[in-house]
Structure 1
């Protein structure tokens, strides 16, 4: 890149390079990287007439890393999620836009409970919290909720700790199958974005995720449903009768994911939901009254 090149020309050249490298959104990524480097809002990037030589050099280095399929969010250090901004980087799963729908469902459930006259604060548990994205969004949009989050991986937990600092969310380092035992039968909403990729699907995973996201956050047994089975058992322990659970899944699991809850027993209103592109994306279910579900000892 030559000195004094126009901002538009720099962005166009970067987008072309990213497109050749197979990046899914080359123009937007090129713009976001330049806005990040220059410290300007994305909406004002068009006002940048010229990029100085030292800035061009730094930008070229960022574009090269993105062309090598390093996640965009690792380069900027942040990821937008609903109305909050999260710190992300190596060691934590980068939250995806599709998960905002699951978070929105959990928020709606908590808001409905919080809006009842004389009601207690809703209790929400986010299992497999990763960066803390869903827990942070719930705490942000339902400020009176009591929000708990659990993460197994120490590296991801450190990112969640950073993102949830000062939010009032209680964060635990531990296994979703055993943590928060003191909340048995007291939780209103359990939400989870578990790992759900089958081990055999390794080669089909996007390079950004396969090479940079923690594998603990991606893969879950031969059919991708092992973590969801654990969730179905654990949510039945944590939820009060009539409480609800929601979990993300792969778009090819629109039938198999709901079947996990049906086969587990004790769940009613098992419903699968699509994302904005019409693809199956997350399943929700309601815990049946105690008289119609397995005893706690059978699901621990």
Structure 2
């Protein structure tokens, strides 16, 4: 019997992934085969036959993906804007939706001569790395609380010039109080009561510290609002991701304090509420963050 054809392998794998509830079975099957073959998904059309050793590796990965292990854990790579990131167990896999928050921050920082940027809850370092690469003049700082995630960020941010720290967003960067131009954050924002609604890939494989944030999902948002008010210069801006259901409640955390102007919510490409932005009003900074 000859080596199996690429198209047959992909068709059977996609069928298996679809039956397991994977949201993008054809895409994921192609990504896994490309990973095994050491090529890109777009170059798979150049492959006709697949050898037995490669078939065995591919089928093992498909089985794990059918068990709802994240695709990026299986390939070890997540793409974010123009950069690649090493990811795996212990770190939140960056989502395409967050690229819009990063793009907003890059636009804000790029309009300044010598911007100071802070990325809180940096996770894999995706947003911080993108800003550092796309705004070379920016002085970028990032912090992550979880030691396992911090280790991944350390790997991804090596050589970028980003100052990375292990620590809490509520107390990070005292030396930058009142001096920051742009703050970004993708905090945990899933309510504890929403456990069952979280995708299996995230619920079972992403660190819970990066997902859940109190009964209403806004505990971290409240801490972030306080710390942003302390770190930003008057007129500085903050951008924060939130859940679709928090389109009103997340911005309300900022408007309720009276410290912020231009509080706005933004949609992702699917027209779902995705992140808020706000500008610190003159005279509203709080050196203690309270």
Range of TM-score over shorter length? over 0.9
Q: What do the CA deviations read for 1:4-49 (whole angstroms, capped 9, x no partner)?
A: 1101110111000000000000000000000001001211101110
Which of 130, 144, 169 aligns to 1:151? It is 144
In structure 2, C-alpha distance between the alignment counterparts of 1:60 and 1:174, rounded to whole Å: 40
Instruction: Let me know the Cα RMSD of the aligned residues.
Output: 0.9
| 8 Å Cα contact 1:196/1:218 also seen in 2 | yes
Which of 225, 250, 263 aligns to 1:270? It is 263
Shift of 1:295: 4.3
Q: Which residue in 2 is equivalent to 1:195?
A: 188
Aligned positions of 1:22-33 closer than 5 A: 22-33=21-32
- TM-score, reference length from structure 2: 0.98
Shift of 1:265: 2.2
Q: Which residue in 2 is equivalent to 1:67?
A: 66
In structure 2, C-alpha distance between the alignment counterparts of 1:153 and 1:54, rounded to whole Å: 38
Q: What do the CA deviations read for 1:52-101 (whole angstroms, capped 9, x no partner)?
A: 11111110000000000000000000000000000000000000000000
Distance 1:295 1:159, change over 3 A: closer
| 2:182 counterpart of 1:183 | no
In structure 2, C-alpha distance between the alignment counterparts of 1:227 and 1:13, rounded to whole Å: 43
Unaligned runs of 5+ in 2: none
| 2:240 counterpart of 1:247 | yes
Shift of 1:294: 6.3
Q: Which residue in 2 is equivalent to 1:55?
A: 54
| 2:19 counterpart of 1:20 | yes
In structure 1, C-alpha distance between the alignment counterparts of 2:205 and 2:103, rounded to whole Å: 27
Q: Which residue in 2 is equivalent to 1:117?
A: none
SS in 1 for 2:39: coil
- TM-score, reference length from structure 1: 0.95
| 2:98 counterpart of 1:99 | yes
Which of 264, 281, 287 aligns to 1:296? It is 287
Unaligned runs of 5+ in 1: 115-120
In structure 1, C-alpha distance between the alignment counterparts of 2:147 and 2:95, rounded to whole Å: 21
| 8 Å Cα contact 1:3/1:51 also seen in 2 | no
Distance 1:84 1:6, change over 3 A: same
Q: What do the CA deviations read for 1:174-233 (whole angstroms, capped 9, x no partner)?
A: 000001000000000000000000000000000000000000000000000010110100
SS in 1 for 2:256: helix
| 2:135 counterpart of 1:142 | yes
Q: Which residue in 1 is equivalent to 2:44?
A: 45
| 8 Å Cα contact 1:274/1:282 also seen in 2 | yes
Which of 161, 165, 173 aligns to 1:168? It is 161
Which of 218, 243, 257 aligns to 2:250? It is 257
| 8 Å Cα contact 1:6/1:49 also seen in 2 | yes
| 2:221 counterpart of 1:228 | yes
